[in-house]
Amino acid sequence: MILANSMELAPLDGQRFRFDAGTLCLELLVTGGEGELARWERLHTPGDLAAWIPYSRVGLGDLVQVSADELAATLRLRAALQRLAATAASGSRAFSGADLATMNEAAAAPPPVPVIGPALERSWVSPVTGTQFLSAVARDAVEVFGGPALDRIRTCEGERCPMLFLDTSRPGARRWCSMDRCGNRYKLRTRRDRHPSG
Ligand SMILES: [Zn+2]
C-alpha cells in the first residue's frame, strides 16, 4: 500500500509541517512511541485512536470503533514496528522474532471490508473495528518488510529527528522527514557555514 499522501503534524517544537510517511505501517509511528518517543504520545485513550485513524492514508473516514484492548494492541504493534523500522533503516537485518510475531498476529485478523455503493462510491463496511485497522497496518508492514521496499526505509537525517519513512521517490534519495523542516534547517546551516559573517 504505497500511496502518495501526507499529513500535517505539529510536534513539540511547534512548527507545523507536512509529512509523508510513504506507507501506512510507518504512518502509525507519528502517533508516539516508547522511551524518547513517549513525549510525542497522542494515543492516550481509545477515542484518541478513533480520532486519529481518519487522518491516516487507509481512508476509513470516521467509521472506526476502538476498544481499550484494541488501543493496547495498537501500542504493542506500533512499538514493534518502530523497532523493526529503525533496524531496517540502520541497514541491519537482525530483526526481533518477537516483533515479527506481533506483526503476523495483527495481520492474521480480517482487514476492513470494502464496499461499493449505487453511485459507484467506494467505502467500507461500517463500523470498522480497531482490530481491522491494525490488520490493514500489519498487512502493509508484511508487504514492506517482505519485499524490495525494505531497502527504502529511512530515518530522517535531521539532527535528533527520529522520523522514519519509506522513500518512494524514483531515485531513492529522500533524506528528510520534510523539506520544510529538517531539509530547510540543513540548507540554512550549510549557508551559514559558507557565509559565517552573514
Ligand atoms: Zn526530520
- Is 160 domain-assigned? yes
Contact 150/144 with Cβ under 8 angstroms? yes
For residue 27, how far is its CA from the centre of ligand 1 (angstroms)?
14
Residue 50: per-residue pLDDT: 94
> Cα of 42 to ligand 1 centre, how many Å?
19
Distance 19 CA to ligand 1 centre (A): 9
Looking at every residue in the chain, the average pLDDT score rounds to 91
Centre of ligand 1 from the C-alpha of residue 89, in Å: 14
Q: Domain range spanning residue 76? A: 18-194
Q: What spacing in Å lies between the alpha carbon of 23 and ligand 1's midpoint?
A: 17
CA 176 to ligand 1 centroid distance, Å: 5
pLDDT at 197: 58
Convert the pLDDT of each residue in 142-184 to its tens digit: 999 999 999 999 999 998 899 999 999 999 999 999 998 999 9
Centre of ligand 1 from the C-alpha of residue 158, in Å: 5
SS3 73: helix
Read off φ and ψ for residue 183, nearest 5 degrees: -60, -45
Separation of CA 45 and ligand 1 centre (Å):
27
3 pLDDT above the threshold of 50:
no
**What count of residues does the chain have?**
198
Query: Would residue 13 count as lying in a domain?
Result: no
| Residue 49 forms part of a structural domain | yes
Into how many domains does the chain fold?
1
11 located within any domain: no
Q: Is the pLDDT of residue 45 over 50?
A: yes
Distance 192 CA to ligand 1 centre (A): 19
- pLDDT at residue 12, rounded to an integer: 61
Q: Average of pLDDT values for 64-70?
A: 96
Q: Would you say residue 1 lies in a domain?
A: no
pLDDT of residue 67: 98
The reply to whether 8 falls in a domain is no
What is the Cα–Cα distance from 39 to 32, expressed in whole angstroms? 7
Give the pLDDT of residue 70. 98
Closest CA to 39 of 59, 14, 12: 12
Task: Tell me what pLDDT residue 60 has.
Answer: 82
CATH number of 110's domain: 1.10.3300.10
Does residue 38 sit within a domain?
yes
How far apart are the CA of 99 and the centre of ligand 1, in A? Answer: 25
Query: Pairing mode, if any, of strands 164-166 and 153-155?
Result: antiparallel
Measured in Å, residue 96 CA sits from the centre of ligand 1 at 25
Is the pLDDT score of 54 beyond 60? Answer: yes
Ligand 1 centroid to 181 CA: how many Å?
6
CA of 126 to the centre of ligand 1 (A): 36
Using an 8 Å Cβ cutoff, are 81 and 110 in contact?
A: no
Instruction: Compute the distance from residue 168 Cα to the ligand 1 centre, in Å.
Output: 16
pLDDT tens readout for residues 134-144: 999 999 999 99
- State the number of CA atoms in the 13 A half-sphere of 23 facing the CB: 27
- Please indicate, yes or no, if residue 4 is contained in any of the structural domains: no
**What pLDDT is stored for residue 116 in this prediction?**
93
What distance in angstroms lies between residue 139's CA and the mean position of ligand 1's atoms? 26
Measured in whole angstroms, the distance separating CA 182 from the mean position of its chain's CA atoms is 18
What pLDDT is attached to residue 11? 66
